[in-house]
Amino acid sequence: MAIWLTKDSKVIVQGMTGSEGSKHTRRMLAAGTNVVGGVNPRKAGQTVDFDGTELPVFASVADAMKETGADVTVIFVPPQFTKGAVVEAIDAGIDLAVVITEGVPVHDTAAFWAYNVAKGERTRIIGPNCPGIASPGASNAGIIPADITGTGRIGLVSKSGTLTYQMMYELRDIGFSTCVGIGGDPIIGTTHIDALAAFEADPETDAIVMIGEIGGDAEERAAEFIKANVTKPVVGYIAGFTAPPGKTMGHAGAIISGSAGTAEAKKEALEAVGVKVGKTPTETAKLMREIMSAG
């Protein structure tokens, strides 16, 4: 199986006709993703050729869902239009919205997150500012490279896109059930805890890699969740051990204040609940390799 994205997922792309949307639609198709169309109100009724695959363009997410049965949307629209695109997806009742766009104003993310909650959280939102989600060998929704790992029984959840790719490559011979890049903005639709719960419930995931970073308390809250709810082995990595206090490091959410949100504090919180934490991504992969070989 996999979490949230499977071989049966039908994917549409909001912004498919733009430069980034078209490039990554082509990559998703090459990875075997069942992309069934795109959304652009100004080009509705047209079709776009992707190396021999003709995909229709619809005026709205609702229209695309009605015509194709789509249950996943990947959003490649400029930051100023992202809130509207996500709200449209929520109103259409799609199962999963993967928001790739970076630079989305935090108040816009807060608005569409709250709107989704008010609507009953029918739609799972991943992102914004994320690489997406990939279930190797089944489907790939976003910008995660499709050829760096294989199918396996490890679940991966990460704030960092590049560290997602590195961990996938480090453990490519063992493979993954699903890899989720949740994004590093201060407000995101899917958290470490959401992914941990899904992997815990997935019968085809045997162990979990969790990658966090400095700033906030998401990793500390994840540690509490692991202690109370997760029975599968978890290994972790926290990016930012050398980051100076008070400095943002790459992601808007990666800022520490005093001793709060430091890499060391997060490492200690995770280790206190039995999570093995590596000092580097390579060491973290080695810890997971040892767990999988022992199991």
Q: 261-295 b/e with 16+ CB inside 10 Å = b? A: bbbebbbebbeeeebbbbeebeebbbbbbebbeee
**Beta-bridge partners for 99:** 75
251 an active-site residue? yes
Gap between the Cα atoms of 230 and 51, Å rounded:
44
Do the annotations mark residue 208 as ligand-binding? Answer: no
Do the annotations mark residue 102 as ligand-binding? Answer: yes
Amino acid at 95: D
Do the annotations mark residue 214 as ligand-binding? Answer: no
Q: Residue written as tokens 């249950």?
A: 71
Q: Strands across the sheet with 139-142, in order?
A: 139-142, 132-135, 176-181, 151-158, 207-213, 234-239, 276-278
Do the annotations mark residue 20 as ligand-binding? Answer: yes
- Chain-centre distance for alpha carbon 278: 22
Do the annotations mark residue 139 as ligand-binding? Answer: no
Half-sphere exposure of 193 (CA within 13 A, CB side): 14
Amino acid at 181: G
Catalytic residue, candidates 24, 107, 192, 251: 251
**Residue positions in the annotated binding site for CoA?**
17-20, 43, 100-102
**Which residues are part of the catalytic machinery?**
251
**Residue positions in the annotated binding site for substrate?**
165
**Residue positions in the annotated binding site?**
17-20, 43, 100-102, 165
